[in-house]
Amino acid sequence: MRLVLAGTLLVLIGTVAGHVSTQTGNSPAVPYPDGYRTWVHIKTGLVSAKHPDFAQSGGFRHIYANPAAVTGYRTGAFPDGSIIVVDWLEGQDTNGSFTEATRLRIDVMAKDQNRYAATKGWGFERFDGGRQSARMVTAADSQCVACHSGSKATDMVFSKFRE
């Protein structure tokens, strides 16, 4: 894989750098996305040490989508059953060669209009270090939804499919 870095590096994603998400007690838990690495790879971004948010969000961001979410990326309307995963990995720079290192977290958005009605049809979760038992979300309505609501034209999803 060849990365071209010029000026400000690509920052992508279905999550905002530094976004600390939490979940309400009223919203059902989002399940861990078993097998997500076999889903469609939407795109990858890299935040290097030159980026102002590097300390809290530096490294690689791989975005994966299940088949329903791929439909949403193509049409702009994500159907119920859509799941988007952002796999955050530390980046290691060895003389200009960037490689993946430790998994930092996995962010998940799951679409279900009924189940997640309180959070505009989307469930949100962040798994610390990618561990299934290390849930970090406790107030999705006030943090995740507040930020993602700015992307109404794309059904609250920040990332775009890279053809």
- The domain segmentation of the chain, as residue ranges, is 36-154
User: Is the pLDDT confidence value at 138 over 70?
Assistant: yes
Per-residue pLDDT at 26? 59
The per-residue pLDDT for range 34-56, each reduced to its tens digit, is 999 999 999 999 988 888 988 87
Let me know if domain 36-154 sits in CATH 3.40.50.2030. Answer: no
Alpha-carbon separation of residue 162 from 6, 83, 134, 153 (angstroms): 19, 17, 30, 18
- pLDDT value, residue 11: 32
pTM of the full structure: 0.80
89-132 pLDDT, tens digit per residue, is: 999 888 989 899 999 999 999 999 999 999 999 999 999 998 99
Banded pLDDT at 24 (limits 50, 70, 90): very low
Whether the CB-CB separation of 132 and 34 falls below 8 Å is answered with no
Determine the Cα–Cα distance for residues 32 and 37; give it in Å rounded to an integer. 12
Q: CA 23 from chain center: how many Å?
A: 15
**DSSP state string for 2-58:** -----SSPP---SS-TT------TTSPPPPP-TTGGGSEEEEEEEE-TTSTTHHHH-
